[in-house]
Structure 1
Amino acid sequence: MSRPPDKRSPQQIIHLRHLLTTMKSFRENMTEDMRTKMCQVVRYTKCDKGRVVLRQGHVGHDFYFIFSGSVFIQIDIYDPVQEETRTSVENVLRMGEGFGEIALLGDGHRTASVICKEPTELCQIDKATFLEVCPALFNQLLQDKVNFARYAVVFLGVMVMVVIVLLVVIVVIVVVKVVVVVIVVLVVVVFVVVVVVVVVVVVVVVVVVVVAVVVVVVAVVSVFVVEVVVIVVFVVVVVVVWVVVVVVVVEVVVVVVVVVVVVVVVVVVVVVVVVVVVVVVVVVIITVVLTTAQFPLFSLWDPEDLQKLCFLSQVLDVPHSAVIEANWARPDFAYFVMKGRVSMLKEFDVTDIEEKARTTRGVQDDNNQKKEILPPDGHKPNKKKYTMFANVGTLNTGAHTVGVEFPKI
């Protein structure tokens, strides 16, 4: 990666492309052609801790990706009231994140200073390549910011929808399993009934035939021809009747099984359709309810003004207990809370409340004057000074500081 861009071979460019895919923004936000073009011109820079990479107000010529390490964004703000310039650290960028695009896409001047927080490796891209390859990428990122500012699905709402869908899927699976078990049980029961009926009929027919054969043999031996004919006819009739009965019973059982299976299948289909419809309706309702204006203030803004604001804004990932403003009565920036909560604290000094002078009896003396009780050495005790904080407000998700009047302390 340290080799100059004009001396890289195609194999080295491919290797560099694989190496840079470890950076999330390089891997997810760029197409294959964009990554190849970047690797053909990217330059490697290694900076020590405290190195100023960009300085506020200077003309911008390059865009940077952080390959390793981290940098912090520092903005110098002039306070006309105090007639002094204050320094504010606004954000920390880490591996895979980029910076420097605002000057290249805007008026050309750096809006903040970028300083290495630790030893950092940077991938540096010149302005010409950036303007050729990256505007479409940053236009999409900018549009994502605008869309979030206007409308955003609350994360909790997404989780609720996911949970509901999972529960419905589980219910459908359970219902289908129960129905399948019922069908199997019905089929087994019907099969057992059919087998029992057939066995009974066969046994009866066999018994009748055996009895008839015995009677015929006895009749033949006794030379009762008429009786033999009658018995044979009787046996034939009995066998035919039982066969017909068996056929009818089997057909009835089969019809019943088919009807039951069809009914169960229809019920399952209806249940599944109803569940799917309910899921769709619930998801739509939750989406409509929770997909509201993240910041209603922007709903009345001109699209170009909102786009310009989002272009110049920064997304801050602020850790717990970090201080982002020293004085909320005169904040340096406007803040929009995308997620979480910000406690606005005001620092002030207090001293001990002086006690009223009293006599030893706690009443006035004869001259109608108060006497102050002093320590044995005759000196007044020093007043203690304390630094305290007061909570002047809270910013929750969706809140902002535009037009907010903070109480004075």
Structure 2
Amino acid sequence: MTSLARRLTTTDAVVIGLSSMIGAGVFAAFGPAAQAVLPAGTGAALLVALGLAAVVAYGNATSSAQLAAQYPTSGGTYVYGRERLGPWWGYVAGWGFVVGKTASCAAMALTFAAYAAPPGLERPVAALAVVALAAVNYRGVTRTARLARWIVAVVLLALAVWTAVALAGEPAWSRVADGTGAAGFLGGPAGWYGVLQAAGLLFFAFAGYARIATLGEEVRDPQRTVPRAIVGALGGAVVVYGVVALTLLAVLGLAGVAGTTAPLAEAVAGTPWAGVVVRVGAATASLGALLALVAGVGRTTLAMAREGDLPRWLSAVHPRFRVPHRAEAALAVVVVALVLTVDLRGAIGFSSFGVLVYYAVANLAAWTQTPEHRRFPRALQAVGLAGCVALCATLPVAAVLAGAGVLAVGLLVRWARVRPRAA
């Protein structure tokens, strides 16, 4: 078995994580989340949802960081679940990640095309984007990291310009705290259900730190680098999302954010050139998320193929570039087929279900670690697990049913394959 090359520094890993999190979610996730909390009628409810998503993400991140330090190899929670809980738990995590994030790849490609392609050419442009970024990943992970640096820089610059323009008008800061009393989102279970559903949708935008853990076989000094990179990338994303949420609420109000599919563009609608900046930033962010997704899914596929949970020919590592080239090529083919044929408007909810299942297994695995490998209080694993269950249960019903169905199919396939061996 050929190992991957350890070429990434802590900065490289942080940048890859940021490019995953500060992706299309920051341009698209706030609208659906605002719709979920709109019945509560409070701007503060959206901030509470963002805070809950961040808390759950932090609990999950500490579990991932702690496990990645003990098991510095490709595969993320697929490996951790196998090592700490058994093969079936690892398979549940790996299957949920691969299926959910494959859908996310297609969604990111289509989001890029929606901002960058001429009308009517969205799907072909999305397919070309998938092929181009798969080629970048094929040439080596250091090229992935270099491109991720440029993508993060462009997106952060676009968001900085957007924030300055949006706040240069007449923001009404009273909208941010509107309705925070007992009659607001604290007034009943319906309000809290909306807040939890919004948190589940916003969690989709935070989930990029998983990509750092899946690169555990390619970072230098992984016991030190991976935990720092995961917590650092998550902290940076929380700051960016917090600034964006406050600005949106001050400029548009909760109803204004909920009433548009492109709230950032709407917030600067009176300044056309700023709208162009937002479009460029959104397209670039989508590419950044897609780039990191292809790398992460490819490496989890590699780990599953090594164990025989996926076809073993996918475990090949390129002799020169030291990347899982067959896994990434196969992923690119599947994603291209999806963007050319499938309507993925529900992909965020479907992906969130798979990712929350993945992190539930991570929290369970981290709970079993012995004191010498524990870097964070065990209570954080309990918070992460409870949060995953709560957010998963309150996702849109269609997303829950579809996710549960695909998960069940995967389990049945594995059961049918391992049963003859047991006999």
Does the pair score TM above 0.5? Answer: no
TM-score normalised over the length of structure 2: 0.20
Q: Which has the higher helix share?
A: 2
Query: What's the TM-score, normalizing by structure 1?
Result: 0.21
Which of structures 1 and 2 has the larger relative contact order (alpha carbons within 8 angstroms, sep 6+)?
2
